[in-house]
Amino acid sequence: MKTYLDCIPCFMHQALRAAKMATADETAIKEILDRTGEMIKTIPMQATPAETGMMVYRIVKEVTGVDDPYKAIKRKHIAEAKSIYPELEELVQNSNDKLLTAIRVAIAGNVIDLGINKTFDIVSDVKKIMHQEFGIFDYEAFKQILDKAENILYLGDNAGESVFDKLLIKALKKPVKYAVRSVPIINDTTMDDAIESGLDKVAELIDSGSEAPGIILNQCSAAFHEIFNHADLVISKGQGNYEGLSDCNRQVFFMLKAKCAVISGHLGVQEGAIILKQYNGGRL
């Protein structure tokens, strides 16, 4: 997915939010905004928003020296998600369609997103999404592919959401590789976050090689490409991964909440819609 003009003010918001997380020094924050402002003219509009997002966070790191401004808040979100995990697990166990309920839980976890200019409340938002109608619902196709799949690649998104991913991975009942970001970027799940979320108990954790807040294939390692190309089923969580893979050359199932006007417009759904989308390669 390309960068839209509407993404540009959002980059400034992201810069301000990340800068404030990294430092209380107003001069440093202003320098981050100055440099982000200067960067705008260099943004390749054909690149994904996630790639520009990466540049913003590099500026924050260069100015403040802080390479993981969201570290503490990621811990908090993982802990919050873990605290409601037993309740959601029970919900899945008691439901008529365990797989679908687990998919809902995993998508509900996608409300935890600090790259987006929205506030959220994990517990109440997750519960709301459990009853929300899907904007795109390719569930039958998903079940068919899952049924035949012998290996699954699951592309993680945010820390905290990662805890809910565990529930879905258990419901898939197949061998799963779970891909994380190579470095801390916004509140995305890194290897440490995945382990803290308990994902090592249910999946093989792999490093995607991507330093952007989304899977950008030309950044990913050869080892990741090998797994990506040969997985029987790829599940992609969240907006950043959607941005990176919406034009890719293989089948992917996207699970996300469309949290901004640009993404919802690209998907052709209302802002706030929850999505289970089958994509079969070639431009969307």
Quick count: other Cβ atoms within 10 Å of Cβ 217?
16
Q: How many residues in the chain? A: 284
29 binds a copy of itself (CB under 8 A): yes
- Binding piece for a copy of itself, criterion CB under 8 A, among 22-30, 174-182, 205-213, 225-233: 22-30
Shortest distance in whole angstroms from residue 34 CB to a copy of itself: 4
- What the block records as the tokens of 91 is 């919900």
Residue from 66, 146, 144, 138 nearest 107 by CA: 138
Of the pair 44, 268, the CB lying nearest a copy of itself is at: 44
Shortest distance in whole angstroms from residue 112 CB to a copy of itself: 22
197 binds a copy of itself (CB under 8 A): no
- Binding piece for a copy of itself, criterion CB under 8 A, among 1-9, 160-168, 180-188, 216-224: 1-9
Chain mean position to CA 127: 19
- Binding piece for a copy of itself, criterion CB under 8 A, among 37-45, 74-82, 161-169, 197-205: 37-45
Residue from 230, 272, 232 nearest 253 by CA: 232
Tell me if 3 sits within 8 A of 244, measured CB to CB: no
2, 33, 120, 195: residue in contact with a copy of itself (rule CB under 8 A): 33
Instruction: Please give the size of the binding site for a copy of itself, defined by CB under 8 A.
Output: 21
Burial class of residue 98, CB neighbours in 10 A (0-12, 13-18, 19+):
middle
34 binds a copy of itself (CB under 8 A): yes
22, 23, 24, 30: residue in contact with a copy of itself (rule CB under 8 A): 30
Distance CA 104, CA 91 (A): 11
Residue from 20, 68, 22, 62 nearest 38 by CA: 62
- Contact string (CB under 8 A) for a copy of itself, positions 39-68, x = contact: xxx---x-----------------------
9 binds a copy of itself (CB under 8 A): yes
Measured over the CA atoms of residue 127, residue 265, residue 275 and residue 193, the dihedral's sign is negative
36 binds a copy of itself (CB under 8 A): yes
Q: List interacting residues with a copy of itself (CB under 8 A).
A: 5-6, 8-9, 12-13, 15-16, 20, 26, 29-30, 33-34, 36-41, 45
